[in-house]
Chains A and B, each alone.
Chain A
Amino acid sequence: MSTEPALMSLVAVAKAIASKEVSSREVTRSCLHRIAEWQPRLNAFMAIEAEAALKAADEADASLAKGNNRGPLHGVPLAHKDMYYDAGKVVTCGSLIRRDFVATTTSTALQRLKDAGSIRHGSLQMVEFAFGPTGHNVHYGAVRNPWNVDHITGGSSSGSGSAVAARLTFAALGSDTGGSIRMPAHFCGVTGLKTTVGRVSRAGAMPLSQSLDTVGPLAQSAEDCALLLGLMAGADPEDLTASTLPVPDYVAATKSSIKGLRIGVPTAFYVDDLDAEVARVLDETIATLKQEGAEIVSVELPDQRQLQGACQLVLAVEAAAFHKRWMIERPQDYGPQVLMRLQNGLAIPAVSYLEAMRWRGPALAAYLAAVAGTDAVIAPVAPMPAATIVESDVGNSLNAEAVIQRITRFTRPINYLGLPALSIPSGFTKTGLPVGLQLIGRSFDEAMLLRIGAAFQRATDYHQRVPKAA
């Protein structure tokens, strides 16, 4: 094999292992080699489990030699955001409070990937309790962007974005409550899928907001995300909020053309106050989608600022309720910024919270009416590329709160509506930072987003570009 195995896509490496073109050990060693090279600069991994991973890889190879293929991810090493419970493993949730917490159960999403044959080679860094959009972590250090280590990865799935971009893992689970998959995908130049609320079980995943939390993958391509979603989605007796709707063949969906599809471009909010380079990438992406046969139409959306406000109210209250006991007993063990965000929820009246929850149905109905006749909407994930770590550090920069407010404004409305959104690498700035755009779909129509994303990725190579080690 001429290509460094770690550089292959998830779909390609899984096929190569299954056909014995390459062994799980070779693949795992390739990832571990890259981790050794990159980890000191990126801080993307929380734990690296080289010995156990090689042992599991050898077992996978031995099993395959006997004709026993465990599933579509047989022998593929994966690492995930350190908030997915894995029985017997420490799961820190990026926090001091859970630094020594050993899970006694395995999350459904993770178990389904294991059942498909994947092996574990470590766990990935994250923002403390997934409550922050930049990638800073006062306890374990900021995760760095492999395209420029002075810049943020975005959060809260900071390690997932950084590690997938640097090709240290073929894919990673993230979670998205206010943009935590899409922002790292955008800032790090990888593909990230925020799923519909209820599409993937949340059993055994650290909670932040029960109404908004979603589980989803970050990977090189839409096709990789499709493979993972197909394995994870569906009903779960451990989580009755997981939908019983049938799980479509997402990988098959990625093969279809987008000729004749109608893609909406918002007339306001998502196109306001964009950095020039983000605006340029949006224009270029629209041109590519047109070239591929899609029809581009303007859509006038309901006021997205109201959705953003409602999202913040719901998130703040639900997060404070989850954390109340520790806020009383161990406030000193939180990072100051995370504690401040949690304290916000204490000041929101129950009536305001319930009003925000009651509005969710009518707000979703109004949004869907506005996008009727389109198959998806395209919008930037954020109005800017990755800020520097220094300028977005709330403890050290006077401008940081403004930066944080700006980077989260395009993601939160979608969480409030519970809709799926796919962030796809769509271009680069002149200084070499990635820019991603989000395709926003209808509830439970991830297949449409993956179809459009895959068509765009057949026409472009942004998702295949790999950052160079300095």
Chain B
Amino acid sequence: MTDVAGVPQTAEVAERIANSIGPAFEGFAPVAGTLPFDLEPASFLLVQTAKVST
């Protein structure tokens, strides 16, 4: 993967990266592959600026 990114790394570094970033993938796993096809591209900005009354 790091080769594809254009910054090749040794096997040792690759293993360390896998261990380090692994928890982030695990945390995101329940969401990955669940998003709808036609999600509004600017949905974050739309939600962020929506008027909300408490």
Interface residues of A (CB under 8 A from B): 196-198, 243, 245, 262, 303, 305-306, 308-310, 312-313, 316, 320, 324, 327-328, 340-341, 343-344, 346-349, 352, 355-356, 358-365, 368, 372-375, 405, 418, 442-444
Contact across chains for B44 and A324 when beta carbons are under 8 A apart? no
Q: A328-B6, A360-B44, A361-B46 are in contact. Are A352 and B25 (CB under 8 A)?
A: yes
Which A residues touch B42, using CB under 8 A? 361
Contact across chains for A368 and B52 when beta carbons are under 8 A apart? yes
Contact across chains for B7 and A346 when beta carbons are under 8 A apart? yes
Name the distance in Å between A312's Cβ and chain B's nearest Cβ.
4
B1's partner among A346, A359, A364, A374 (CB-CB below 8 A) is A346
A-B contact pairs, 7 of them (CB 8 A): A309-B24, A309-B28, A316-B24, A343-B17, A352-B28, A361-B44, A362-B43
B 1-39 to A, binary, CB cutoff 8 A, 1 in contact else 0: 110011101000110111011011111111111010001
Bound state CA distance, A347 and B14, in angstroms? 8
Name the distance in Å between B18's Cβ and chain A's nearest Cβ.
7
B49's partner among A306, A327, A349, A443 (CB-CB below 8 A) is A443
Contact across chains for A312 and B54 when beta carbons are under 8 A apart? no
Bound state CA distance, A266 and B40, in angstroms? 29
Name the distance in Å between A189's Cβ and chain B's nearest Cβ.
30
Residue of B nearest to A401 (CB): B20
Bound state CA distance, A284 and B50, in angstroms? 34
Contact across chains for B47 and A361 when beta carbons are under 8 A apart? yes
Contact across chains for A372 and B2 when beta carbons are under 8 A apart? no
A306's partner among B2, B27, B33, B46 (CB-CB below 8 A) is B27
Bound state CA distance, A443 and B45, in angstroms? 10
Which B residues touch A362, using CB under 8 A? 35, 39, 43
Which B residues touch A262, using CB under 8 A? 54
Contact across chains for B7 and A344 when beta carbons are under 8 A apart? no
Name the distance in Å between A406's Cβ and chain B's nearest Cβ.
12
Residue among B31, B42, B49 having the largest count of chain A Cβ atoms under 10 Å: B31
Residue of A nearest to B32 (CB): A355
Name the distance in Å between B15's Cβ and chain A's nearest Cβ.
11
Name the distance in Å between B25's Cβ and chain A's nearest Cβ.
7
Interface residues of B (CB under 8 A from A): 1-2, 5-7, 9, 13-14, 16-18, 20-21, 23-33, 35, 39-40, 42-49, 52, 54
Contact across chains for B49 and A313 when beta carbons are under 8 A apart? no
Interface majority SS (helix, strand, loop, mixed), chain B: helix
Bound state CA distance, A405 and B23, in angstroms? 10
Q: A262-B54, A362-B43, A442-B52 are in contact. Are A306 and B31 (CB under 8 A)?
A: yes
Bound state CA distance, A365 and B23, in angstroms? 24
Contact across chains for B6 and A344 when beta carbons are under 8 A apart? no
Contact across chains for A372 and B54 when beta carbons are under 8 A apart? yes
Which B residues touch A348, using CB under 8 A? 21
Which A residues touch B16, using CB under 8 A? 340
Q: A245-B49, A316-B21 are in contact. Are A352 and B39 (CB under 8 A)?
A: no
Contact across chains for B27 and A308 when beta carbons are under 8 A apart? yes
Name the distance in Å between B4's Cβ and chain A's nearest Cβ.
9
A358's partner among B18, B35, B47 (CB-CB below 8 A) is B35
Contact across chains for B52 and A328 when beta carbons are under 8 A apart? no
Contact across chains for B21 and A303 when beta carbons are under 8 A apart? no
Residue of A nearest to B17 (CB): A347
Contact across chains for B28 and A356 when beta carbons are under 8 A apart? yes
Which A residues touch B40, using CB under 8 A? 361
Contact across chains for A355 and B35 when beta carbons are under 8 A apart? yes
Contact across chains for A347 and B1 when beta carbons are under 8 A apart? yes
Which B residues touch A374, using CB under 8 A? 54
Bound state CA distance, A359 and B14, in angstroms? 27
Contact across chains for B44 and A364 when beta carbons are under 8 A apart? yes
Q: What are the 5 tightest A-B residue pairs by CB atom distance, in nearest-first order?
A: A309-B27, A361-B43, A312-B24, A309-B28, A361-B44
Bound state CA distance, A14 and B43, in angstroms? 42
Name the distance in Å between B42's Cβ and chain A's nearest Cβ.
8
